[in-house]
Amino acid sequence: MKLRQKPDDFIVEELPNKEWKQSGSYAVYKVSKVGMTTFAAEKVLATHCGVKFNKIGFAGLKDTHARTVQYFSVDVQNPQVGVFQEKNVRSELVGFLDEQLRTGDLKGNRFVITVRNLSEKDVEVAKKNEQDVRAGVPNYFDSQRFGSLKGVEGFIAKDVLKGDFESAVKKIVTATTRHQKAKIRGVRKFILAHWGDWRACLELIEKNGLERTSEGTIMRYLAEKPQDFKGAFQRVFKGIRELFFSAYQSFVWNECVKKVVRETSSGVFSVPYEAGKLVFGRKWRTGELKTLPLLAADMRVPKEYDRIIKQILAQERMALVDFFTDEHMYVARERELVLVPNDFAVTFADDELHVGKKKACVSFWLGKGSYATIITKALFEQ
């Protein structure tokens, strides 16, 4: 099974929750792009419109390795300047709004995913699981939520919640992956080998022209205040720190849901993901399952899930009170336990990229905040 072998193998289109107007303060553009981040598309749009980034709004971030359609609002005097076509991005004017688009201004996203290199057994598995997937799968957070785990063992946020700021900072500046530039990887390995010699680390960073990186910012701070790891952690860009905290909260929620699935299914199978393994049920009894809140220090624990939450917290050697920190405000937001794909369809054909293999075209739409890759994991059991 192979995903994303071509940009057209993963197509995502936003489903806005607003209706465009004939006129308004903000022009709305439908931007189609391929192999480009949302921020890169925003930059191109800003250049064409001649505006700063704070004049542009969008509802969500979209994959780089995909063909995507999303909407941007722009505070611009002449709306036609935002209509253009370049090699990897096209923009068309679709209407107007009286307010700027903001994160979350979505009904959901529509997906068309091509899964390749399938054996006959893979096809049989998908056909067997199709009805279960239609009925609903666990609404897990998938690997995309856990990028901060790459190259490290354990969650940075958990270190912070336990008061171990040194461990958190160490993870941030020494994690290495094969996707990093060789220069960054070399500096991070040096920091790990010379942990505590902040001056030496800073000298190497400056020698490599990396003063403005997170490594440079943190090492410069520690060179002045060698034991203030809390202060060093706070030097990390706030948006990045928020990702650390949301990743750990999402992981704990996933672990609770795994327990629910095991207890309400006639059988289960597991699939690996960035933070461990996810559990899917066979003949999962979803009828009485509604929502489960993300854990927070001041949450009201639902009676029916009290035992499960306590088990997971004990497994993590945590308590609810540990989720209270000055570094982040955790909110006990309710999240649906069951993810039901809308307009779900699967078709199979010969795979032109892999002789003798099959491909599947899987199409559906999901509400915002859910992960399309959870559907493919449940369908193909991998």
Last residue of a domain, one of 188, 217, 237: 237
- Considering the chain, what is the average pLDDT of its residues? 95
- The predicted structure's pLDDT at residue 178: 87
Amino acid identity at 135: A
Task: Assess whether 63 carries a catalytic annotation.
Answer: yes
Tens-place pLDDT, residues 143-157: 999 988 988 899 999
- CATH number where 27 lies: 3.30.70.3160
Amino acid identity at 37: T
Confidence label for 63 from pLDDT (cuts 50, 70 and 90): confident
Confidence label for 253 from pLDDT (cuts 50, 70 and 90): very high
Q: Residue with structure tokens 């039901």?
A: 340
Rounded to an integer, what distance in angstroms lies between the CA atom of residue 307 and that of residue 35?
Answer: 45
372-380 and 120-135 helices cross at what angle (nearest 10)? Answer: 120
| Structural domain count, the chain | 2
Whether the predicted pLDDT of 179 surpasses 90: no
- The predicted structure's pLDDT at residue 261: 97
In this structure, the answer to whether residues 163 and 98 fall within a common structural domain is no
Among 2-6, 21-25, 132-136, name the one with the lowest average pLDDT: 2-6
> Would residue 250 count as lying in a domain?
no
Confidence label for 61 from pLDDT (cuts 50, 70 and 90): confident
Residue 320 φ/ψ, nearest 5 degrees: -55, -40
Q: Which of 8, 9, 63, 105 is catalytic?
A: 63
Among 34-38, 245-249, 273-277, name the one with the lowest average pLDDT: 34-38
> Would residue 73 count as lying in a domain?
yes
Whether the predicted pLDDT of 343 surpasses 90: yes
Q: Which domain holds residue 208?
A: 152-237
pTM of the model: 0.90
Among 184, 166, 183, 163, CA closest to 175: 184
- The predicted structure's pLDDT at residue 288: 85
Q: Average pLDDT in the 87-93 region?
A: 95
H helices present in the chain, as ranges: 38-49, 120-135, 156-161, 165-174, 182-193, 198-207, 214-224, 229-233, 238-263, 306-316, 372-380
The percentage of residues in the chain with a pLDDT greater than 90, rounded to a whole number, is 90
Last residue of a domain, one of 218, 237, 256: 237
- CATH number where 211 lies: 1.10.1510
